[in-house]
Structure 1
Amino acid sequence: MKGAVATDVEAGGLRGRMYASRATPAVRAEAPAESPTIVLIHGIGVSHRYLVRLHQAMARMADTISIDLPGFGSTPRPDRQLMVADQAAFIHDVLDKAGVGPRVLVGHSMGAQFVLEAALQRPDQVPQVVLMGPVVDVRRRTLPRQMLALAQDAVLYETPGSNALVFSDYLRCGPLWYLKELRVMMNYRTEERIRGLVTPVMVLRGASDPIATGEWCRILTRRAPAGTLVEVPGSGHVVQHTGTAQVVDAISSFTGLPGSGAPEQVLNRQ
């Protein structure tokens, strides 16, 4: 990733990779001493690569980190199945080792499960959490329905570029690890775990996303003690790649960072 420092990281016998970017000197000079770091977490089968546009845009306003979790991207495959809580603990452990203080956690798809669990584990360290395209819709918790929604998204709502990033990462991940973690994703009850969240949460989706549907995201927003829903028109599931400016605007507004300059009317806030 251009401009980011890549570092191999390890915690609890698990290995991943961290990509860190510092905010511009002018932003750092004006920011409060305890300004949180933006931490971006990918979903199942993929890596930091489909988060690059969002990472680079956020890094203009705040210190920003993307993490390739154990088993994904080019990181080594663990010798055991990892639960959502394991990945959440790994996120905190590697950030602690890197000296990162308060952290705004932004997770996409299964990454939304990881950051939700991480916010539950360490609410004192997470001032806000963002769930982008969260899974798994309680009304569609079967593999055939999830596969159909993924196919619809790829064919109807994604660009050739976003599809190339996602499906090439699926090949790098490999079917064995993907299927092992898919069972974990399908069994995690996002709609129940979010009830215990004390951290303010923004649920963010592409308005055309057939995986994280509007009704499902409204369910999550209502169940969160402090929830906000934002929809980005014209985007599908990989909203951070196809609607980057709007996503940056939503995150900066939610967290109190300087605005991205994206026009307010492109977002549907509820």
Structure 2
Amino acid sequence: MRAKVETVRIDGLPVRLHTLAPAGRVRDDLAPTVVLVHGIGMSHRSFRRTQRALAATHRTVSVDMPGFGGLPGAGRPLQVEELADIVVRAARSRGAGPLVLVGQSMGTQIVAEAARRHVDDVESVVLVGPVVVPGRRSALLQGIDLARDCLTEGVRMNTVVLTDYFRSVPQYLRELGPMLRHRLEDTMPHVGQPVLVVRGTRDPIGRRDWAARLAAAAPRGAFVELPGPHHVQEHQPVAFARLVGEFQRVQTLEGLR
């Protein structure tokens, strides 16, 4: 399978969309579209294996946000709420919907805000390695946790992390403040859609008690752990895709009752 790659502009800001779907169904109104949203400093490459696994059964769109993945930056900080609007509008501009939003790291903040702000467009959300753990809201502590995670990610994922970070430094520095200030724990009680929180068992960034607390704070939350580090979705792409698929089936059955 080869992704269809498009760059759209939302309020003048570039967003790159990588669409992959079963049997080439890049436009499909019959089923939810799974939208994959990367974390700070990263790009669609942090979901490369995950997207291929999910695309066996779902229409998928992996996003490169402004200033990341080689795209020009915004020249200013983009608040989490603004990024949430950008992701939904970019996906909807290509006919995607309803949306299942999957966010990793800072992407969890973005998809949670998107669900809160776009109730009619977002069907459910999946948070992978959520940030930022209270008590660790500083660049220094986040850097320490990131360094610890690099010890377990492996050569392939560390290569993706380092090269993505290198080409996104200007926007990364702008987004660090909004990420550290955003309080995901305050958003979760206002997300009425089903929420699945997924954590890698060896993740030093999205810690277990914190992840479980977020799931409990959501009106319709669930918490699952998979073996692996912060980017557990890439270490366990098939298991993760099955988990997302099962989560969707359960929500569908509940909706039919």
Q: Same fold (TM over 0.5)?
A: yes
Report the counterpart of residue 264 of structure 1 in structure 2: none
Report the counterpart of residue 200 of structure 1 in structure 2: 194
Q: Does the Cα contact within 8 Å between 1:159 and 1:242 map onto a contact in 2?
A: no
Report the counterpart of residue 268 of structure 1 in structure 2: none
Report the counterpart of residue 172 of structure 2 in structure 1: 178
Matched, 1:15 2:8: no
Q: Which segments of 5 or more consecutive residues in structure 1 lack a partner in the other structure?
A: 258-270
Matched, 1:246 2:242: no
> Using a 3 Å threshold, how does the CA distance of structure 1 residues 220 and 60 change in structure 2: closer, same or farther?
same
| 4+ long deviations beyond 6 Å | none
Report the counterpart of residue 212 of structure 2 in structure 1: 218
Computed over aligned residues only, the root mean square deviation of the Cα atoms, in angstroms, reads 1.5
Q: What letter is aligned with 1:14?
A: L
Alpha-carbon displacement from aligned partner over 1:196-250 (angstroms, at most 9, x marks no partner): 01011000010110100100101101111111001002x0001111111221121
**How far apart are residue 33 of structure 1 and its match?**
5.5
Q: Does the Cα contact within 8 Å between 2:75 and 2:171 map onto a contact in 1?
A: no
Q: Does the Cα contact within 8 Å between 1:23 and 1:64 map onto a contact in 2?
A: no
Matched residue of 2:197: which SS?
A: strand
Q: Which segments of 5 or more consecutive residues in structure 2 lack a partner in the other structure?
A: 251-257
Q: Does the Cα contact within 8 Å between 1:210 and 1:236 map onto a contact in 2?
A: yes
Give the % identical residues: 38
Matched residue of 2:96: which SS?
A: coil
Q: Does the Cα contact within 8 Å between 1:34 and 1:102 map onto a contact in 2?
A: no
- Tell me the TM-score normalized by structure 1: 0.88
In structure 2, what is the Cα distance between the partners aligned to 1:48 and 1:33?
23
**How far apart are residue 144 of structure 1 and its match?**
2.1
In structure 2, what is the Cα distance between the partners aligned to 1:113 and 1:209?
17
Report the counterpart of residue 127 of structure 1 in structure 2: 123
In structure 1, what is the Cα distance between the partners aligned to 2:20 and 2:242?
19
**How far apart are residue 139 of structure 1 and its match?**
2.9
Report the counterpart of residue 108 of structure 1 in structure 2: 104
Report the counterpart of residue 262 of structure 1 in structure 2: none
Matched, 1:227 2:221: yes
The worse-fitting range, judged by mean Cα deviation, of 70-79 and 36-45 is 70-79
Q: Does the Cα contact within 8 Å between 2:39 and 2:104 map onto a contact in 1?
A: yes
Q: Does the Cα contact within 8 Å between 1:132 and 1:203 map onto a contact in 2?
A: yes
Report the counterpart of residue 81 of structure 1 in structure 2: 77
In structure 1, what is the Cα distance between the partners aligned to 2:66 and 2:142?
23
The partner residue of 2:147 within 151, 160, 174 is 151
In structure 1, what is the Cα distance between the partners aligned to 2:163 and 2:211?
28
In structure 2, what is the Cα distance between the partners aligned to 1:254 and 1:95?
21
The number of residues matched between the two structures is: 248
Matched residue of 1:77: which SS?
A: coil
